């Protein structure tokens, strides 16, 4: 698979259990082990920077078809058991998106801070939104402190989602009060805009040895190809 091929990404915001908070990698590792064999290319976790009782998972898949086959397969229940143990109550937000470029996505989730931008057009502005979002994408390419951005559309087609990597929260704040301010103001008049921040886990050490938190292979036959490695 090309590093520049579209990929499927699942973003889940949820209220974490105390067991999960005590050792996120321990609960996430079995999910990665099962899912990587079905086409998962990345698994990251973090806490909402502004809502510390809200956690996030970011799962990347080789394609939407790979993810759907996994959901319909025999191992889905095995993967769900640790997930159910990690979540208290219903998840506060689950979004499935198709991103344009896997290499950009992997770059973003390796940045120190990750920003999630959700843009939902308000009627009757659906047709007006595309060029404004395109401007936002272009501006991010030259912003100081921005170390990558990846954009796509939710699977049901109603939300534009951007994942942006930042060197620091201060760099992000300066961009939003500076170069991005006119575009953000315009978007707020045409859409419902939600912005969230997190620091995704750094390189795992105890349970897996890859930057994207796929399982540590037990033997050469178990190894999987990891994008971006």
pLDDT band at 206 (very low <50, low <70, confident <90, very high): very low
- Which of 19-33, 114-128, 142-156 is predicted with the least confidence, judged by mean pLDDT? 19-33
- Least reliable range by pLDDT among 111-120, 157-166, 215-224: 215-224
**pLDDT score of 175 more than 70:** yes
Identify the CATH number of the domain defined by range 7-217.
3.30.70.100
Task: Kindly give the interhelix angle for 181-190 and 169-177, rounded to the nearest 10 degrees.
Answer: 70
Give the model confidence (pLDDT) of 61-115 as tens digits: 888 888 888 888 777 777 777 777 788 866 667 899 998 778 889 899 989 999 9
- Tell me the per-residue pLDDT of 114-132, one tens digit each, with 9 for 90 and over: 999 999 988 887 778 889 9
pLDDT at 20: 87
d(CA 12, CA 5): 23
> pTM score, two decimals?
0.82
Task: Look at residues 185, 41, 201, 191 and name the one whose alpha carbon lies nearest to residue 113.
Answer: 201
Q: Is 49 exposed, middle or buried (0-12, 13-18, 19+ CB in 10 A)?
A: middle
Q: Is the omega angle on the peptide bond into residue 124 within 30 degrees of 0, that is, cis?
A: yes
**CA nearest to 117, candidates 64, 172, 174:** 172
Residues 6+ apart with CB under 8 A from 7: 41, 60, 61, 62, 63, 98, 99, 102, 105
Sign of CA dihedral 197, 200, 202, 206: positive
């Amino acid at each position: 698979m090309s590093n520049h091929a579209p990929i499927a990404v699942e973003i889940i915001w949820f209220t974490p259990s105390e067991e999960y908070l005590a050792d996120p990698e321990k609960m996430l590792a079995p999910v990665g082990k099962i899912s990587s064999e079905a086409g998962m290319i990345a698994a990251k976790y973090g806490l909402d920077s502004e809502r510390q009782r809200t956690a996030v998972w970011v799962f990347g898949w080789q394609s939407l078809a790979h993810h759907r086959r996994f959901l319909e397969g025999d191992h889905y229940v095995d993967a769900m058991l640790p997930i159910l143990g990690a979540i208290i109550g219903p998840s506060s937000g689950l979004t499935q998106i198709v991103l344009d470029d896997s290499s950009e996505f992997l770059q973003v989730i390796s940045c120190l801070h990750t920003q999630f931008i959700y843009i939902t057009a308000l009627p009757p502005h659906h047709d007006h939104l595309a060029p404004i979002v395109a401007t936002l994408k272009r501006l991010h390419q030259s912003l100081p402190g921005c170390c990558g951005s990846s954009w796509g559309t939710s699977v049901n087609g109603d939300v534009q989602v951007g994942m942006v990597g930042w060197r620091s929260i201060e760099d992000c704040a300066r961009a939003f009060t500076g170069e991005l301010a006119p575009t953000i103001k315009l978007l707020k008049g045409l859409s419902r805009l939600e912005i969230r921040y997190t620091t995704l886990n750094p390189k795992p050490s105890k349970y897996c040895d890859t930057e994207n938190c796929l399982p540590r292979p037990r033997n050469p036959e178990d190894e999987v190809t990891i994008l971006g490695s």
